[in-house]
Structure 1
């Protein structure tokens, strides 16, 4: 719950900041900012090479070894190599990004790698709730600084400065909460990190491929203005997926510890079932809501952004598929089978890259969105297949179906409201609130498991009539 609420707070601060940035910078400059962030994300993969995943895994196992210090030293070395390469490639990078931003890109890379490593250590030390709090802290500080500087007239430079300041604050706070053994790490510590990272690095590529390969490819075929609209639609779709990602982060260290102590047993299978049962809790009604009112919601970002309505629908569905895929991949990684996720990731990246090039060249941003969705579907199928090879997989079809039924009831109410009442942004925002209440009430009525879960997680002094 702490993880979800933290992600929600982060998303809200980012949502509000994005509105200011798009309205102040305009589609062209905001699109340039998005392209720089996409290049940063790929540079971060080269500067990490699966290291944070390896640190999280080895620290979570509670075995002998100083994986915190060894991870820090390895991260510093990787960053230095990538930063030098970026500096020498700056003429080409600046030309691609259409902005002289390589220097700030190198600075942003350093703070990005730092905050990701701090989060990985905290999660490995079973402090997922503490790690989760860093995200809204970082994004809130980033948003405040960005909005302040952009409104003060610093333009896109203010957006970059906010990114750096927010990450630095998160690093400082997180570092104070990490438990560090200052003993000299051994050669074996580095070997164990490498043994996991040699497979997990492709997971970073896969994740980034899903998140921004379409943006990278789009930069070759469309203007920064359209990329800005596309990225807004993607961010809105990602807002619905935060609950599923919170489940992923929370369950990984628990699954990892259980499997390292007792092997792959019914407890791990049970946690996988729970993750599948609740991954769609928010994104399923979010998808239904996007169909009904997504065009109006996009207007909050400014004139012209409503053109991303159909892109929003496709990307939200892609996010739904990817959410379920992530639960399978997360479980396979947690039980120390990164070799299997390596195979899935290799196929995912190959399909995503190929389809993005082919479809984007032919159909523009609709092709990019379709490529993202298709690769998520393939990844989901492969994740399920490999998970069934190493454990008993129970897919909670009944619970997922009830979530769709509740979303259908919600959609009916919102549709009637939109048809019967004036079609404006304030009215639509009210309908969204009404829809959320209807969905929750419908799901409570339909699902005994959901009622029990809510009851079990309410404070002891609170009792909801009819739950038992």
Structure 2
């Protein structure tokens, strides 16, 4: 697998996903208002938390075993069989607490939740199976199609007057598209389930389950607690701020997805030196983009929310800044966690997760009750920092971990200079609205790239390699066998 080409494919698709998704959320937020969009976000939250039970680490275990080449047909069949059991259990749990769940969500949504859960879980299982075949780049278009179908059909349903239910219909249609497409893409044929394969999946899944819980907890726990103690409108404003910050993780999530199967292969070949060479580069690239994003949001937080979504969402301006700090650390954690899982030390990732979930839960309850929306952001950010530090410590105990301090320092200097330029432009221009925001963002991007190109280490380690990867991607591959 060509890491650079696969990473760029995934990044371009995720960039397309982000544009489509962000455009959809913007329209949905304006059409429905913070209260109605807040109800949909709560539905997504419950769906996300329920997948913890529905997956139980099976998807990640299947990707790991397929990347190792262990009886692929049998592994796939066994994973599907196990998945049927775990999804049935999660669906039964939803139906068991249906009255309470409908009251929490503000409508009769439990049945929709079961349907969405079943389809989403198998879509994600088949997508990760394709990644396990070391064909990461080919899953990019599937992910894009899922988002595109959700947004376009969701918009059609909303404009037809279906409201929140319309967004749910679109979500289900998007997952159905992804499930069918990914299954057709699989080169591995479904064999017969085997008990030995089930135990092999379990050996990895029991730790991957805890590590995957971390992602679900970070993404949904704060929203769930806000929905419990505050209003639907608060949920809507907070989640809109969260979605804005997710754009920062495009690169780190791309690196995480792309690196995992390759790290797994190198680990099985005992090629530790290759892993040690790639990790610092990945961290440097992730921070090269997340640091200036934080600075930009620090300067333009109010303008982003007011201009793009509407003035009623500006109650989350402070939340946006704090969550952007969380994304800076999360961008590093994506690389660290993916590497630990790739070298088969998912047990250490799980250990970090146990600690940070406890911190996240306790702080969220305490700070939401005392501080409100900003308290949820502070709690989640604190937990993210702790997890990043723990994963860094654990990885350094298994390989030689070199943090690119010089690269981080120069990225920070360039970002600070960019922030001053953007602040000056925002202060000097005599108008507001979308024109001001567009000019500030454009000036920010141009100034940051200019400052970075002037600094030798950034130019040599990030800017020039990035241009080379882009050029090589645009050039046809030399061999069809290297097209993934």
Whether TM-score is above 0.5 comes out as yes
CA contact (8 A) 1:243 1:281 kept: no
Kindly provide the CA deviation profile for residues 136-185 of structure 1, in whole angstroms up to 9, marking residues without a partner as x. Answer: 11111100011111012111111110000111111111111111233323
Output the TM-score relative to the length of structure 2.
Answer: 0.93
Q: Distance in 2 between matches of 1:220 and 1:461?
A: 47
2:316 to 308, 316, 320: 308
CA–CA distance in 1 between the matches of 2:248 and 2:431? 23
The one-character-per-residue Cα deviations of 1:52-95 (angstroms, maximum 9, x if unpaired) are 11111111112335221211111112111211221121011111
Corresponding position: 1:453 with 2:461: no
Q: 1:205 to 1:461 in 2, by over 3 A?
A: closer
Partner of 1:400: 408
Asked whether 1:372 is paired with 2:372, we answer no
User: 1:287: Cα distance to partner?
Assistant: 0.8
Cα distance in 2, alignment partners of residues 261 and 460 from structure 1? 27
| Structure 2 alignment gaps of length 5 or more | 1-7, 476-484
Is 2:270 aligned against 1:258?
no
CA distance in 2, matches of 1:387, 1:17: 38
Aligned to 1:59: 66
Q: 8 Å contact 1:43–1:82 — kept in the other structure?
A: yes
Whether 1:286 and 2:293 are equivalent positions in the alignment is: yes
Distance 1:99 1:461, change over 3 A: closer
Tell me the CA shift for residue 462 of structure 1. 9.6
What is the match of residue 39 of structure 1? 46
User: What SS does the aligned partner of 1:182 have?
Assistant: coil
Q: Is 1:442 the counterpart of 2:454 in the alignment?
A: no
Q: 1:126 to 1:360 in 2, by over 3 A?
A: same
Partner in structure 2 of residue 349 of structure 1: 357
Match of 1:466 in 2: none
CA distance in 1, matches of 2:22, 2:413: 29
Does 2:254 align with 1:246?
Answer: yes
Give, in whole Å, the separation in 2 of the partners of 1:346 and 1:185. 31
- Are residues 411 and 107 of structure 1, via their aligned partners in 2, closer, same or farther at CA, if it must alter by over 3 Å? same
Distance 1:307 1:46, change over 3 A: same
Number of matched residues? 462
Q: Counterparts of 1:60 and 1:41 in 2: how far apart (Å)?
A: 26
Alignment of 1:155-170 (within 5 A): 155-170=163-178
Q: How does 1:15-94 map to 2 (within 5 A)?
A: 15-65=22-72, 66-94=74-102
CA distance in 2, matches of 1:123, 1:406: 36
Residues 69 and 180, structure 1, Cα contact 8 Å, conserved in 2: no
Is contact 2:9–2:140 with CA below 8 Å preserved after alignment? yes
Answer whether contact 2:81 2:193 (CA < 8 A) is retained: no
Let me know the Cα RMSD of the aligned residues: 1.6
Query: Take 2:425 and 2:414, find their aligned partners in 1: how far apart are those partners?
Result: 17
The normalised TM-score by structure 1 is 0.96
1:365-416 Cα distance to aligned partner (Å, 9 max, x none): 1111110011111111111111111110000111112221221222122111
Greater CA drift, 127-136 or 393-402: 127-136
Pick closer, same or farther for the CA change 1:366–1:458 going to 2, 3 Å.
closer
Structure 1: gaps (5+ residues): 464-468
CA contact (8 A) 1:251 1:271 kept: no
